[in-house]
Structure 1
Amino acid sequence: MDRRIVLVTGASKGIGRAAALELAKAGNHVIATARSEKALTKLDDEILAATGHNATLIPLDLRDTAAIDRLASALLERFGRLDGLLGNAGVLGTLGPLENISPSAFQETLDVNFTANWRLIRAVHPLLRMSEAGRALFVTTGIVPRPRAFWGVYGATKAALETMIA
């Protein structure tokens, strides 16, 4: 049987990096995306050392909506399907009173944490349907059920994500 093909966003550090490495160790072919090509290359070296297989590395800024559409087209052409999507990429943004948050900081947090995930779902859904058991999983936060002062923008974007994927 072919290895399952799993796309991981935000794979260069933290939860995304750890998940990409574990998914590869479990026998999946990982398509790792992140803004940092250097960090992706380091991840690939670790995946190769642990599994004997390379990951597919795609430097990607999720604020570039056209790049998300190009990603889906490239995945269709190369793999013909997608078995899993781990939507992990996110930004904390500015923490503080809402009146002190700049419109650009607000927009970036919304774009990365919410809008990019909608674009990803929209773009790769046909690929997930081509899999025998395509699945999508998104990383959110404990802030949603337990709001905290100064975390309003971040919490709102993650609450929107949870509502969208419910």
Structure 2
Amino acid sequence: MISDGSFRLDGKLALVTGASRGIGYSLSKELAGRGAHVIAVARTVGGLEELDDEITAAGGSATLVPLDLTDMPAIDRLGGSIHERWGKLDVMVANAAVLGTISPIGHVEAKVFDKLMAINVSSVWRLIRTTDPLLKLSDSGRAILLSSSVAHTARAYWGPYAASKAAVEVMARTWAEESRQTHLRVNSVNPGATRTAMRAQAMPGEDPETLPTPAEVAAKIALLCDPALDATGKLYDVRAGKFLSYNDPS
């Protein structure tokens, strides 16, 4: 069952990628507001600094990590740094992703495809590998991997992005199965259409005022960080407000 939202994360440590804008930015603020110390990871330093200012002004705390997620060795080192400084990790949110190009799959440039897979898939696997032992040192480790409805629809022109999110979901389900006998709970999230820069890039003619804000979506994703949550290996649909069965993830 999904959390009622009354939980706190005081004394917990949460890592969020793509934290300089959009859902990652808002989710970092949400988790900090619940008492977690947030490790905010993003490439854009300016956005991280703005996030830090907001978190600090609200009485929270954060550690900023400017990092390009195509730098795979740097992701590997991140886990070691967390272990050396804090000894464990309680929450990991793999949020960062790129859209690539919306076009026929045979027209996608190789460099665009390779970058998309590096950020959307390979970096997530590296994050899993480097944070898995840290999350299992927590008494309530929570891993959340951001997905998309296109992972299940095979929508025309969305091939690379859809394939990357399908890969992320399979990694999440596998990780969850391998961790069932531990305190770690791993779930994927379909945030749905959200008022973000990526959505505007994908749907330039859409009225953003018709979409929920990143803060509204982040507040619902944060429910998966509840230390009392038992669900694992599932797909949480933000719009539906519930976990979906993988036999019918629609």
Q: Which residue matches 2:86? A: 79
Q: Could you tell me which of 19, 33, 41 is aligned with 2:27?
A: 19
For residue 57 of structure 1, what is the amino acid of its counterpart?
L
1:37 matched residue in structure 2 = 45
Residue of structure 1 equivalent to 2:55: 47
Distance in 1 (alpha carbons) for counterparts of 2:134 and 2:151: 30
Cα displacement (A) at 1:2: 5.7
Taking structure 2 as the reference length, what is the TM-score of the superposition?
0.64
1:122 to 112, 115, 129: 129
Mapped partners of 1:102, 1:2: distance in 2: 46
Q: Give 1:35 shift.
A: 0.3
Aligned pairs for 1:1-166 within 5 A: 3-50=11-58, 52-166=59-173
**Regions of 4+ moved over 3 Å:** none
Instruction: Structure 2 unaligned segments of length 5 or more: list them.
Output: 1-8, 174-250
Q: How far apart, in 2, do the equivalents of 1:47 and 1:132 lie?
A: 25
Distance 2:30 2:154 in 1: 31
Count of residue correspondences: 165
% identity of equivalent residues: 48
- CA radius of gyration, larger in: 2
Q: Structure 2: how far apart are the matches of 1:130 and 1:28?
A: 16
Are the counterparts in 1 of residues 35 and 60 from structure 2 also a CA contact under 8 Å?
no
Structure with bigger helix share is: 1
Deviates more, 1:79-88 or 1:144-153: 144-153
- RMSD across aligned positions (CA): 1.2
* Stretches of structure 1 lacking an aligned partner (at least 5 in a row): none
What TM-score, normalized to structure 1?
A: 0.96
